[in-house]
Amino acid sequence: MNTDDELRLKWWKEAKFGMFIHWGLYAVLARGEWAMAASKIPVTEYEKLAKQFNPLKFNAKEWVSIAKSAGMKYIVITAKHHDGFAMFHSQTEKFNIVDATPFARDPLKELAEECQKQDIKLCFYYSHVIDWHHPHSVHEYYNNTWDYQLENKSFYNYWNNLAKPQIRELLTDYGPIGLLWFDTAGGLSKKDSKEIIDIAHKLQPNCLINSRVSHWPNMGDYQSKGDNEIPMYGEDSRPWETPMTLNKSWGYSDNDQEWKTTESIIFKMVNIVSKGGNLLLNVGPTAEGLIPETSVERLRDVGKWLSTNGEAIYESNPNPYPYEFEWGAITVRSGKMFLHLYHKYCPGRELKLYGLKNKVIKSYILADETKEQLDIDQVYNEESDHHALTIKLPKQLPGQYISVVALEIAGEVKVDQSFSQQASGVITLDLVHAEIDERITKAEWGFKVVHPGTFDVVLVNFKKAGTDWEKEYNETVELNLGKQQLECIPKEDIILEESQSCQYPYTEIHSKLGQVEINKSGQYTLSLTSDKIQRKLETTEIWQANAVKLRSVKLIPSNDGSSK
């Protein structure tokens, strides 16, 4: 990444948290943003909905204020979704909110003015390839074939006469735009993808472009993950962002009331930021122009948590360790390390952290206004090259959901980079960190054991909704640790109701493979052979297509008392 790219990305990497808004003509149907395709509504019938679309309760100041009070730093709103309806006053196409509806106002113009006033970056989503309204839009999969003959489509008619002119309008008529968020580029050529990027950067050199502008690798300024996808730590080499729903729908749906709890949202935000990503959290306003009250309540609660703990989120750097922690997550800033303690997983009155090489100068709870010093004990065993930090925690952690322990340290943070056993005794080996031989579908890890004993071996997978597990996992996996070998067909032994890195449409599944003995501390090598082993693909949406995704192997101290 060159200096110009880094400067363009700086604000976005520091922001960490943004609001996604899916709002369009589909709100009238209240069945989500794919309603037109799902019901194969003819264009002539869909156009009639515009006469019913009159969102008089829309208030740009109120929307931007909701985002700001939630601690969000940017807004990405759907300027045009797959239905082809422009939510701005397009001079290119009359199928837009000003010319086709009784509302006759440009909400994006009003949002642009309000974002300037409240110092929020305004950004636009634009469906550049899918357009069910236009007779010549051509996508690899998702086309309007109920109105139009696919063989009669001429893509460049759409591309040159609608898509590019509207993108130019968005970058010309609405002031400075933080980023353009493109979606589902199926079949778009590399040349056409690059042309859009060049147009955007010519009109607004500082405007960011997300990776969904193209299916070609490394296009755009940063990586958009799959919908609701949270990667494992270290899975991405580029700056990245997770787009996430508050319930299950993006556009407003009156049948979808399955809302994420405030606790879950904060957990996931911390998890994402600790891995170096941004969270783009979606709201789906109604046809009247209101953000649902439940969304507002959740965002208000997240904002309260950030008002106290924002120092550990904004402008932070990711966890410096090559693995995650069961008790929470870590972020860092210059001279400081922040330990995010999930209340429900907090290990009692003491928190142990292995591998921190810096001297801790001061330790306190971030939410504690007095910054009262927490007692700590730091030791180093030279023979085993083992650093251990123990922090005495208060009887009652302040606030809700997550408390942040701030460590002021001497110098820039330095930690043991080996894959090491955690203080809890658990050893987690993520697939993304393995040495992979795809010819024989084998993954191998090296790791350090501090506390030997007997360990239960657990395989962690993510399963997509509707998947037949036995059909997907019908072959034996083989695990080797020294001379010990385990072979079995994984079963759905534990289905996690809550997961930090997994959410709808996926569920985290734990499969028990057996037990292994580790008799002394030191370095070990473990290998796993499975037909589910593959390298992470560089494209965006392929991840969503996997029915079962192998994520990691866990070695968990046995509860039979044999581990030390």
DSSP structure string for 70-95: TT--EEEEEEE-TT--BSS--SS-S-
β pairing state of 548-557 and 427-430: antiparallel
pLDDT for 240-292, tens place per residue? 999 999 999 999 999 999 999 999 999 999 999 999 999 999 999 999 999 99
Residue 523 DSSP SS3: strand
- pLDDT confidence band for 561 (50 / 70 / 90): very low
β pairing state of 336-342 and 328-333: antiparallel
Alpha helices in 441-531 (DSSP H): 469-472
Both tokens of 236, joined, read 């991405």
Q: What is the pLDDT of residue 563?
A: 41
CATH 1.10.1760 is held by the domain 427-557 = no
Q: Which of 407, 420, 396 is nearest to 330 (CA)?
A: 407
Rounded alpha-carbon distances, angstroms, from residue 348 to 327, 345, 351, 399: 10, 9, 7, 16
Q: What is the pLDDT of residue 545?
A: 67
pLDDT for 194-227, tens place per residue? 999 999 999 999 999 999 999 898 899 999 998 9
Domain boundaries, the chain: 3-305, 328-409, 427-557
Q: What is the pLDDT of residue 250?
A: 97
- pLDDT confidence band for 546 (50 / 70 / 90): confident
Q: Which of 92, 94, 125, 87 is nearest to 109 (CA)?
A: 87
Domain 3-305, second-level architecture: Alpha-Beta Barrel (3.20)
Residue 512 DSSP SS3: strand
Q: By the 8 A CB rule, do 124 and 80 touch?
A: no
Q: Which of 150, 9, 15, 136 is nearest to 84 (CA)?
A: 136
- pLDDT confidence band for 233 (50 / 70 / 90): confident
Query: DSSP 3-state helix, strand, coil percentages of the chain (rounded to 5)?
Result: 25, 30, 45
- State how far Cα 110 lies from the chain centre: 29
Instruction: Note the CATH number of domain 328-409.
Output: 2.60.40
Q: Is the pLDDT of residue 539 over 80?
A: no
pLDDT for 123-140, tens place per residue? 999 999 999 999 999 999
Residue 400 DSSP SS3: coil
Q: Which of 96-105, 152-161, 251-260, 492-501 has the lowest mean pLDDT?
A: 492-501
pLDDT for 286-318, tens place per residue? 999 999 999 999 999 999 999 999 999 999 999
Task: Tell whether the torsion through CA atoms of 128, 134, 138 and 140 is positive or negative.
Answer: positive
**Beta strands per DSSP E along 303-385:** 328-333, 336-342, 350-354, 360-365, 376-381
Which residue is listed with tokens 């589910």? Answer: 532
